[in-house]
Amino acid sequence: MNTARRIYNVLFISVFATMLGLGVVSPLLPIYAENLGATGIWLGIIFSAFALSRSFFMPIIGRISDRRERKWIILIGMFAYAVLSLAYLIAGSVYSLTAVRFAHGIASAMVVPVAMAYIADLSEKGKEGSHMGNFSISMFLGMGVGPLLGGFLNDAFGISSVFYVMAALSAFSTLLVAISLPEAKPGSLGNPGGRSASFQEIFRLPVMRGVMVFSFLSALGRGGMMVFIPIFAPSIALSPSEVGVVLSVNTFLQALLQVPIGRITDSGDKIALIVTGSAIAAVALAAIPLSGSFWALLAITCLIGVGGAIQQPSIMALTVDVGRTIGMGTSMGAYNTIFGIGTIIAPLLGGAFMDFIGVEAVFYVGGAISLLGTVVFAVMMRGIDQEAAG
């Protein structure tokens, strides 16, 4: 097995196991927090702490990864995952649980974006879409299988078992990376000289500016979907198990479509794919309040999954292409940070609309924001094309 294939396989398995561990605990964390006395406000703070620290540290760690051994950054992050998984069990208050979540966010910033940069370094010119699309399967599958496994473990063995499994999966990933992942010096896999750029430099690059604006508005529009669908579901008489199916199928569908869409991305018009996929997802999101049954809601969320699958490989391909100039860790860190900021704001914005207007407004506004992001991106990229032609 050549070095590139070995790196890909090790990181695919490791990221899948890590995301599976994270997905196992995420749907049960609100229950755990409420048992510690968390109010609604504290639940929001506890969940935001993870996304906040992850978004803040990703660009910093991304730049470091362009100058240092990426293997060791990933290794430290995965080891921290394992330790922090057990720290949840000894958190005795909402304050300590918030601190654990904040630290967990830092560990997350050391794993997924750096692993994506590692894979991006291996992507040949013209095959960015298929490489990144294939690798994204590990994240989508982990996030999709995790909640189902977490529910089973909680019902069969109690909530503590969920944290032990998360720790075991993270420990397995740590050992796999330590033993099997080859070291690669900055610049040796596709980032000549370990070059990295400042955040201001990144935003001055026309293509990356388009990617970041689109990613922020896309996350802002769709980032609250998983939070508010369970709140909307009782109005159309859905059971908790049916809600779980609706959310999991969406994620599985995105994973399933990554390979064929990734191949289309390599030979197709990336901008057109992004605009098409985003428009489909935006319209479907706004249609959620019109669903009156389980099957209608499932069909609509499947459309959102299809739209997301169409756009994602192309967005990643553009990010990889820019990363060859400014550093893969830097470009991946910037993309993930902007996306993360959108996902932090989305539930807060959605909550405000739900309180003042109603839960249906969350989906109408989310769809409108997503559609706005689609139009803004299309205009920005058209301007870049015209500038290049001129």
Distance of CA 37 to CAs 40, 143, 200, 332, Å? 10, 27, 42, 37
The CATH homologous superfamily to which domain 1-187 belongs is MFS general substrate transporter like domains (1.20.1250.20)
- Report yes or no on whether pTM surpasses 0.85: no
pLDDT (tens digit per residue) in 86-106: 998 888 888 998 899 899 989
DSSP state, residue 269: -
**Contact (Cβ atoms closer than 8 angstroms) between residue 337 and residue 55:** yes
Q: What is the mean pLDDT of the chain?
A: 80
Q: For the chain, what's the residue count?
A: 390
Phi first, then psi: give them for residue 224, nearest 5 degrees. -95, 5
Instruction: Return the CATH architecture of domain 197-390.
Output: Up-down Bundle (1.20)
Same fold, 1-187 and 197-390: yes
* Residue whose C-alpha is closest to residue 13's, from 114, 113, 124, 139: 139
The first and second tokens of residue 211, run together, are 């990617």
Domain definitions of the chain by residue range: 1-187, 197-390
Instruction: Decide if pLDDT at 365 tops 80.
Output: yes
The winner for highest mean pLDDT among 42-46, 70-74, 122-126, 293-297 is 293-297
Distance, CA of 257 to CA of 344 (rounded, Å): 27
